[in-house]
Structure 1
């Protein structure tokens, strides 16, 4: 029963988790938090990860009840993500793999989300909607690749929501109930959020000053519009692939309103929505360990010379040798 340590740190979350033969033994995580209205920059985020990662690894091993000698591999996020945080995690993974003389497993971040979703959702061949701060993709498996059927052509949905929150200097609050008309841009199976953001940047000061809308109304309207766009392209992809399961993964997958809208759409199409537990929607080390476990069992290990990070590491660049 192979046991794999997984390290994740592509954005503001850093984590370490241990997986053994489909069982999550531990999943420890820390978050770099900035004040409301401020984003997180690569440099400070990387320094945060460097300060806490070794402690997280110790905690993960202790919680899992394993020693380094019990591990069969060390997996880490190769990309995509922010350069400095990725580099910190990759350096630690390389060091541990050499120190402990264990195989190194470089994992694509999105593939980690999908493999954890497949494990937990018991959906062997789902269509996947991957929504996070940095990524928005509709994905299906075919011929040893996770094929991107549709994606954002500009900013990701999570980044879109965060940028409105920074504009308003608030934490996103969708308790508003006035739906303000916003640009709705769907292009086949692709979506675009930049025009929606530009429109909000232009009209927000006037709407707030005149009392025509509250910050909550603006957050509510953005969420409803963006999620409707995602539901439309996902429904189109379900019709195209005839998939019976929809896997919802990524940090934004924790949003209950998005789950509700997709649940309604799936029921109308006779499909089943498989949302992932919140503990594993948010970036975490266990999902990297699970993808690394899949790679290890078929011998898809990473040479030290090939273990550098790739900030723009697309989902469909990975050869998925562990699936038929």
Structure 2
């Protein structure tokens, strides 16, 4: 993306507001970065001043349409910005830049939040900084966990990627060939008419904990990539048979429940993700795994990844729902990192794109 270079003095504090709205979560965050005491010292931890989120929730069995999600974001963005300013205790004059998600994501919601960011930028006379959603997740995860140079498993409703850093870019080693893991879970939740509050993936996780029998499902790993549409089609068929009055049984005669299906789906797709992550770790020689994205909150995924990492003498890094699930603070943080290197997004370049690849971003703030 085009930018205008304007170097900052290196010895001052910087503050950013970030707006996120790439899917059904609308987030506003305000963050403060402190300068290094001297060039040889590590950068002090970022200070989170506000991190507010509001989720558009649909009835059980329904997904969220782009136009309705965009309407939700337009309805709540002013309220959330005001709340964030009040919670942070900073004034408009204290803020250095307005950061917003430029992609990837759903078109209409992205555009709604981008319009809000442009409006705030013009009203407050602050520069704009467009942020790649995926990079926002990664940088927030690194900041919170302290992971130094991990292999990143990025798993959310719209994205599934295995990533590693090299030469100032996040390189994609593997990804989904069709639907993302979060989308797979969400769509199966609709099949089962599982409530969307607080999220369908969370509710599947709770049901999976009660599952007792594993139902064998297709396992589709193709090199470093995964495919989930076939798994979803298969398990949807089993579920429809069960709820259509055709019960299914295990080999030992136990009737298969929806809890068993949730358990089996999680175990299968998480095993696929562990496999490709381990292969990436071996390739780059890393002993750290950082899990980011909304599905990264899943404790079973963290447990399975932890078992693999420990067998390799490594460790897993993950955050809780405040930072895993889409949020404004990750956009503020990644945007402020770019801003401090002189990056700006001109108004005419602030269009959003649904396909903004993680490896398109030049990481001027990283040189390790």
1:4 to 8, 16, 23: 16
Deviation of the 1:277 alpha carbon: 2.4
2:323 to 269, 273, 280: 280
Q: For 1:210, what is the secondary structure of its paired residue?
A: coil
For the 8 Å contact 2:178–2:229, the answer to whether it is kept is yes
For the 8 Å contact 2:287–2:309, the answer to whether it is kept is no
**Residue in 2 aligned with 1:240?**
283
Q: For 2:50, what is the secondary structure of its paired residue?
A: strand
1:136 paired to 2:164: no
**Residue in 2 aligned with 1:115?**
139
1:23 paired to 2:54: no
Runs (5+) with no aligned partner, structure 1: none
What is the rounded CA distance, in whole Å, between the counterparts of 1:88 and 1:139 in structure 2?
A: 29
1:295 to 313, 316, 338: 338
Q: Where do residues 136-155 of structure 1 align in structure 2 (5 Å cutoff)?
A: 136-155=160-179
What is the rounded CA distance, in whole Å, between the counterparts of 2:240 and 2:323 in structure 1?
A: 37
2:78 to 54, 70, 78: 54
Deviation of the 1:128 alpha carbon: 0.6
TM-score, normalised to structure 2's length?
Answer: 0.86
**Residue in 2 aligned with 1:199?**
234
What is the rounded CA distance, in whole Å, between the counterparts of 1:93 and 1:269 in structure 2?
A: 44
What is the rounded CA distance, in whole Å, between the counterparts of 1:246 and 1:139 in structure 2?
A: 10
Aligned residues: 324
Deviation of the 1:159 alpha carbon: 0.5
TM-score, normalised to structure 1's length?
Answer: 0.98
Deviation of the 1:211 alpha carbon: 4.6
Runs (5+) with no aligned partner, structure 2: 1-12, 34-45, 196-203, 250-255
**Residue in 2 aligned with 1:268?**
311
1:166 paired to 2:190: yes
Greater Rg, structure 1 or structure 2? 2
Deviation of the 1:127 alpha carbon: 1.1
2:66 to 42, 59, 62: 42
1:181-201 Cα distance to aligned partner (Å, 9 max, x none): 000011111111011112123
For the 8 Å contact 2:101–2:133, the answer to whether it is kept is yes
Deviation of the 1:320 alpha carbon: 1.1
What is the rounded CA distance, in whole Å, between the counterparts of 2:308 and 2:52 in structure 1?
A: 34
Q: For 1:55, what is the secondary structure of its paired residue?
A: helix
The alignment yields a C-alpha RMSD, in angstroms, of 1.0
What is the rounded CA distance, in whole Å, between the counterparts of 1:170 and 1:102 in structure 2?
A: 43
**Residue in 2 aligned with 1:210?**
247
Question: Structure 1 stretch 81-90 or stretch 208-217: which is displaced more?
Answer: 208-217
